[in-house]
Structure 1
Amino acid sequence: MSEYQYYEFQAIDRPLNDADRRALRDLSTRARITSTSFTNSYEWGDFKGEPVDLMERWFDMHLYLANWGTRRLMIRFPKRLIDEQRLDGFLGAVDGVELRESGENLILDILPEEPEPDDDDWDDDGSGWLATLTPLREDVLRGDLRLFYLLWLMAVQAEAVGPEVVAPLAGIGPMNDALEAFAQFFCLDADLVAAAAERPAETASDRAMASDAVQRFAAALPDSEKTMILTRLIEGDPHMARELRQRALSLSAAAAATANPAPTVAELQARAGAIRDMRRRKEEERLAAERKRKEAEEARARRTRLNAIIEQGDSIWPEIEFEIERRKASGYDRAASLLMDLKTIAAKNGDTADFTRRLHSIFERHAQKERFIARLNAFGWSGAL
């Protein structure tokens, strides 16, 4: 299997200027570079740049994929919008995940242990994944922590978390497309994810504040802070509104923790097992129904074929001779198949004597055609000689 590597970076908060693009071009003459992205793939050689450096300097999202199994995702967040202490409960037991500081930002680096590729026909070229995963960043900035719950599930799947440990959220349902893609990209146990998604999630992005609560929050802000906020809004700070909303929600009764209790690891695993058993039963039932359907189709086709042979009468025997005389594998197969059908018809009509006589005659005339005799022997007719 030849090597294949795919690199894609996405700038969200600040587009790349001409100087940025020139610096990136120095790293790769083949890459597709736009004002918001850098994309390249390699079937030989390697990328000269260091992805972490590119994330620290230019980009907000990065995806890497290699056909030997390595998969990596990096997301850069403004540090002031992330509650790092809150995330400790999600990431403490997860291997291959790091949340590192970079100036005013935090970079979430997800690089799990390499899974074994499914097969040698691996054909995922990496394109399309990052576009599907990019909404995860905005979701997190709006207070949706389900991405980190999926990371915690990696530790559960790896049996790095004890059965008595309580999940960091009550649930993650209903899943959106980006979360589904993340689980698929990192090969999370689909049944474990389904078990977690059965319980509804309560995210900060789902909560609403009453208008009077918003007014009270705004009125309580010092004038100096209001001036600072207005200045940042006028200057185009893309995160000011999110930051204000997070602060308001943290003081609002609407931000109270959900009343739904979070499950333990043991409860999640038990439910995942039940979902797995149900899925397997449904698959077995589907396969059984498919086999039954195919058998019925084959029986109908066989009846049609036998009726056609019956209508053809004795003229079928010259056709058998013709197929044998072709001295081709396909002809031998056709002749043997017709003989098998004639045997079935003879047995059904109680007229096996005539069939046996004709079959002996065929054996005698074509005894030197070893490949044809071998095909007849495969039908259990070696004794006919």
Structure 2
Amino acid sequence: MSEYQYYEFVAIDRPLTATEQNELRAVSTRGRISASSFVNDYQWGDLKADPRDWMQRYFDAHLYLANWGTRRIMLRLPASLLDPALAATYCVGDAASSFVSGEHVILDLHSEDEDGDEEWWEEEAALASIVPARAELAAGDNRLLYLAWLLCVQNQELDEDALEPPVPPGLAQLSGPLRSFAEFLRLDLDLLETAAQASASLAATKAPSAAALAKWVKRLPAAEKDEAIVRLLRGDGVHLRAELLRRYGGGATIESVDGGRTVGELLAGAETRWTARQQQTAKREAAEQARREAAAAAAREQRLDELAADPERAWQRVAELIATKKPKEYDAAVALLTDLKALGERDGQRKAFRGRIHQLCQEHARKPSLLDRLERAGLYVSTAS
């Protein structure tokens, strides 16, 4: 199997200049480049650039995947919206790390699966389904950071006695972008559900009402209102809403609760959930198997009752099928004989059936294909056996 790699970068907060696009073109002649993105895939070569460098210089989001099991997501946010210390609290390993570049914080998240047997993603839609989670993080929703920490737990990069960081609300109610994020990075569902047990419900979270916002805006100094409007008119208002909501103190989420569980407790809880799920699956499969067997037994009893009404007609049908000398008809004859055998056993006519089948085999002793089928069905034992 040939190699396959897919790279996608997106500029969100500002468009790329013509000069920057030319710089990207100098690196890749095949790349699909626009003022907002760079996309390319490779089957033999590789990108002749460092994605970390491109994230620092040009882009706000990056997705990478390879057919040997590597997946990667990088997100860049202004440090004014994502405290570097907060990012470092959650991004604590190789699977999830963070670093500061100028006025930005960059998250770098990895997933590896050397088995390579997972369901393949539709590359062109993957990053688009995840990118909105960046805006949620910018608005103060720390669930993405907690998911990043869980990646480190899942990769067993932390001591089992290490305590979890603050648990944000809504882990059991992930948004669509966060679900895509978790699925793309192969976050274990049992681990996530275990973690969500200590997460408050978003039902307790209320976005600020229009009346509350209006009252708060009226109290803002005129100079601050003027500054916000000027920023908006100058096109510098990409994160203005998130900044104002942070200042308001409402936002779309409630405060995180202090984490009190250890890594070992979370892993043990995930293992317990996995075991229980496997047991439930086994019970469902056993119940379904029993249902199928009962249905098959009922159907067979009905066939036997029909045969019992005129068994001689069934033996005549066997003879007609054999007379065709066709393999498919031989199979049908064997199936009918199997039911006749079961009928004989049910109605106490085993000896009579054995006599009839012995006579039939003698009559067709020169038909090895038929005799082989009868022997494999347990209806006949050859003298050579």
What one-letter code is carried by the residue in structure 2 that aligns with 1:379?
A
- For the 8 Å contact 2:8–2:37, the answer to whether it is kept is yes
Q: Distance in 2 between matches of 1:322 and 1:124?
A: 55
Q: Structure 1 residue 384: deviation in Å?
A: 6.4
Q: Distance in 1 between matches of 2:328 and 2:38?
A: 55
Q: 1:202 to 1:118 in 2, by over 3 A?
A: same
User: Deviation digits for residues 223-276 of structure 1, max 9, x if unmatched?
Assistant: 5x6665443233121123323433453xx9x99955666433344334323322
Q: 1:165 to 1:288 in 2, by over 3 A?
A: same
What one-letter code is carried by the residue in structure 2 that aligns with 1:193?
L
Classify the secondary structure of the residue corresponding to 2:220: helix
Give the percent of matched residue pairs that are identical in Structure 1 and Structure 2: 37
Q: Structure 1 residue 75: deviation in Å?
A: 1.0
Q: Distance in 2 between matches of 1:302 and 1:97?
A: 59
User: Deviation digits for residues 288-333 of structure 1, max 9, x if unmatched?
Assistant: 2211221122123323433444456433334434444555543333
Alignment of 1:1-385 (within 5 A): 1-16=1-16, 24=24, 31-33=31-33, 35-92=35-92, 94-112=93-111, 114-117=112-115, 119=117, 123-171=120-168, 172-201=171-200, 208=208, 214=216, 218-219=220-221, 223=223, 228-237=227-236, 238-249=238-249, 258=256, 262-310=260-308, 313-324=311-322, 329-383=327-381
What one-letter code is carried by the residue in structure 1 that aligns with 2:363?
R
Q: Distance in 2 between matches of 1:271 and 1:336?
A: 54
TM-score (norm. length: structure 2): 0.82
Q: 1:161 to 1:206 in 2, by over 3 A?
A: farther
TM-score (norm. length: structure 1): 0.82
Q: 1:103 to 1:283 in 2, by over 3 A?
A: same
Classify the secondary structure of the residue corresponding to 1:65: strand
User: Deviation digits for residues 188-211 of structure 1, max 9, x if unmatched?
Assistant: 2211100112233489x9665955
Q: Distance in 1 between matches of 2:253 and 2:329?
A: 78
Q: Distance in 1 between matches of 2:253 and 2:143?
A: 16
Q: 1:96 to 1:271 in 2, by over 3 A?
A: closer
Q: 1:145 to 1:353 in 2, by over 3 A?
A: same
- For the 8 Å contact 1:174–1:198, the answer to whether it is kept is no
- Over aligned residue pairs, what C-alpha RMSD do you find? 3.5
Bigger shift: 74-83 or 344-353? 344-353
- For the 8 Å contact 1:147–1:179, the answer to whether it is kept is yes
What one-letter code is carried by the residue in structure 1 that aligns with 2:263?
V
| Alignment: residue pair count | 375
Classify the secondary structure of the residue corresponding to 2:172: coil
Q: 1:366 to 1:194 in 2, by over 3 A?
A: same
Q: Structure 1 residue 39: deviation in Å?
A: 3.3
Q: 1:358 to 1:25 in 2, by over 3 A?
A: farther
Q: Distance in 1 between matches of 2:264 and 2:206?
A: 28
User: Deviation digits for residues 161-210 of structure 1, max 9, x if unmatched?
Assistant: 2333322123533222222222222222211100112233489x966595
